[in-house]
């Protein structure tokens, strides 16, 4: 029983340490694609919800609510804190573009689809900012 209590205490301590690296302050998020045989584009989600774009695709909206922008910022920060790193996926065609997300002073870029947590995060950002039902 003492071992179980010690493991629970250690786990709680480690979880608290990991959680402390995630900022609660909303930060700008930039995401997009570059390289390959397509025209590059990027979108910026500002902490106040303002959306800015360069390139194609053209968005269906120009603003998110502050609450939605803050929620996306927390999601990006938590995913980055979880150890997300840039990578080139094995067997990926060099003609394919790399997707990237820049936030919290870091850029994570993935060439291919071998990083499910990155792909899910990038698609969440794209859905919220570009499609307009996020």
Domain spans of the chain, in order of start: 24-131
Sign of CA dihedral 33, 133, 131, 93: positive
pLDDT range class, residue 18, cuts 50, 70, 90: very low
Higher pLDDT, 21 or 83: 83
pLDDT range class, residue 19, cuts 50, 70, 90: very low
pLDDT digits (tens, 9 = 90+) for 84-128: 999 999 998 888 889 999 998 999 999 998 999 999 999 999 999
Predicted TM-score (pTM) of the model is 0.77
**Phi then psi dihedrals of residue 6, to 5 deg:** -65, -40
Q: Residue 122's pLDDT is what? A: 95
Higher pLDDT, 2 or 126: 126
**Degrees (nearest 5) of the Cα angle 49, 42, 115?**
100
* Measured CA distances, 104 to 27, 60, 75, 107 (Å): 7, 26, 12, 8
């Amino acid at each position: 029983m003492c071992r179980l209590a010690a493991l629970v205490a250690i786990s709680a301590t480690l979880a608290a340490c990991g959680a402390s690296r995630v900022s609660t302050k909303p930060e700008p998020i930039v995401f997009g694609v570059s390289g390959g045989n397509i025209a590059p584009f990027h979108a910026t989600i500002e902490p106040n919800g303002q959306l800015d774009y360069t390139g194609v695709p053209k968005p269906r909206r120009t603003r998110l609510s502050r609450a939605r922008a803050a929620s996306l910022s927390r999601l990006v920060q938590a995913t980055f804190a979880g150890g997300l790193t840039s990578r080139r996926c094995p067997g990926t065609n060099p003609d394919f573009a790399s997707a990237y997300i820049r936030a919290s002073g870091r850029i994570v870029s993935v060439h291919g689809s071998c990083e499910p947590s990155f792909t899910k995060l990038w698609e969440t950002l794209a859905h919220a900012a570009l499609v307009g039902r996020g």
